[in-house]
Amino acid sequence: MRVVVTGAAGFIGSHVVDALSGAGHEVLAVDAPSRSPTPQVARRTWAEVAVRPGVVVAEVDLAVDELDVVAAADVVVHLAGRPGVRDSWGPGRAIAERDNVTATRRLLAACADRPAGCRPKVVVASSSSVYGSAGRRPNREDDPLNPASPYAVSKVEVERLAGLAADAGLRTVLLRYFSVYGPRQRPDMAFHRFAEAALDGRPLPVFGDGRSSRSFTHVRDVVAATLAAAAEELPPGIAINVGHGEHVAVREAITMLTGALGVQAEIHRETPVAGDATRTWADMRRAQRLLGWTPAIGLRDGLEDQISWHRALRTMQEVRVG
Ligand SMILES: NC(=O)c1ccc[n+]([C@@H]2O[C@H](COP(=O)([O-])OP(=O)(O)OC[C@H]3O[C@@H](n4cnc5c(N)ncnc54)[C@H](O)[C@@H]3O)[C@@H](O)[C@H]2O)c1
């Protein structure tokens, strides 16, 4: 299969490229690392994926550049964008609009412009944030959407665009990812910040009281669902939750994380983030039925995996400095 992966220098995208390369597919890995909130991290990841077998990289800003990169693709896995609820307020709103909405609109148009029979299937990253906070049961894909931040609003618009493209004949599928974690997790995300603080011996910066809960989902499980969505015949425009079926409170996750690190850490409580869900909770039945997917990695094991990565990164950095 020839696959274009956008956002390939990012957290999830880089793992998708690794998996596709490992399975022997041809991959065109697309990104514009300068659009990442942490360009130096994106450049480091970019260098890692660029040397994988069967991978060619192309630096393309999806919001402004020519998009002929989609020309030879059987599938486009579209993960590029500006993630994150917190930074989407204020000036972040225009960035989310540009890198989520404009970029997706242009990418879908470029795919739709291909001659009939040569149009790639497009797997598009959405987010659990489109639901707002979950209630007493897990969120199902046909629940009403209740976006509470500019980021979530941008993802609702991304979904609308993918739906319109499907109506016009493009095979699109929307994956609503739930709090992804694991090696290479973005520096702004909770477990990354907690692990780095704990390893430095600093208090852990926690937004709010730690009672909010998430369907934390390990990136290897997310990759498995994403590859299944690329391979399976699916109803065009369908949305599928990609999230662990259990939701865990942040403070419980902190206990697991500090336990795995073998440290006792203080908590530094920070003001809760406007628009952050108090609970995310994925109903997994559609993913099980259509993708044959159930997450395989529990939070305790998954956190150990992420911690090993933080330790390895530190060792590498020490070697470089030394
Ligand atoms: N990580 C999560 O928990 C999570 C949860 C829900 C949804 N998502 C979605 O999954 C996708 C990937 O998330 P991630 O955590 O890997 O983010 P990330 O920031 O690590 O990766 C996104 C990549 O997109 C690139 N990019 C941004 N704008 C671009 C543009 N205009 N042109 C080309 N490349 C551009 C960035 O350089 C970056 O490398 C995003 O769409 C995000 O909204 C992530």
In a domain? residue 249: no
* Residues whose CB falls within 8 Å of the CB of residue 160, separated by 6 or more in sequence, listed in order: none
Pocket around ligand 1 at a 6 A CB cut-off: 7, 9-13, 31-33, 35-36, 42, 61-63, 79-83, 99, 103, 125, 127, 177, 179-180, 186
pLDDT given for residue 318 in this prediction = 82
Mean pLDDT of all residues in 128-155: 97
pLDDT in tens, 221-250: 999 999 999 999 999 999 999 999 999 999
- Atom of ligand 1 minimally distant from the CA of 31: 34
* Pairwise CA distance, residues 267 & 263, whole Å: 12
Q: Which protein residue has the closest C-alpha to ligand 1 atom 7?
A: 127
- Atom of ligand 1 minimally distant from the CA of 46: 39
In a domain? residue 128: yes
* Pairwise CA distance, residues 145 & 234, whole Å: 22
Mean pLDDT of the chain: 97
Domain that holds residue 42: 2-180+217-243+283-296
Mean pLDDT of all residues in 91-111: 98
Compute the distance from residue 262 Cα to the ligand 1 centre, in Å. Answer: 32
CATH number at residue 140: 3.40.50.720
- Atom of ligand 1 minimally distant from the CA of 102: 31
Q: Which protein residue has the closest C-alpha to ligand 1 atom 42?
A: 83
Given a contact cutoff of 8 angstroms between Cβ atoms, the answer to whether 9 and 46 are in contact is yes
Q: Is 181 a catalytic residue?
A: no
Compute the distance from residue 298 Cα to the ligand 1 centre, in Å. Answer: 24
- What is the number of structural domains in the chain? 1
In a domain? residue 90: yes
pLDDT given for residue 102 in this prediction = 98
In a domain? residue 171: yes
pLDDT given for residue 320 in this prediction = 76
Compute the distance from residue 36 Cα to the ligand 1 centre, in Å. Answer: 8
Q: Which protein residue has the closest C-alpha to ligand 1 atom 21?
A: 10
Confidence of residue 316 (pLDDT cuts 50, 70, 90): confident
Confidence of residue 147 (pLDDT cuts 50, 70, 90): very high
Q: Which protein residue has the closest C-alpha to ligand 1 atom 39?
A: 10
DSSP 140: P
In a domain? residue 110: yes
pLDDT in tens, 168-222: 999 999 999 999 999 999 999 999 999 999 999 999 999 999 999 999 999 999 9
SS (H, E, C) 233-285: CCCCCEEEEECCCCCEEHHHHHHHHHHHHCCCCCEEEECCCCCCCCECCECCH
Options 131, 151, 177, 181, the catalytic residue: 151
Compute the distance from residue 177 Cα to the ligand 1 centre, in Å. Answer: 11
* Residues whose CB falls within 8 Å of the CB of residue 88, separated by 6 or more in sequence, listed in order: 82, 95, 96, 149, 150, 151, 154, 275
Mean pLDDT of all residues in 246-265: 96
In a domain? residue 175: yes
Confidence of residue 48 (pLDDT cuts 50, 70, 90): very high
In a domain? residue 31: yes
In a domain? residue 150: yes
Compute the distance from residue 37 Cα to the ligand 1 centre, in Å. Answer: 10
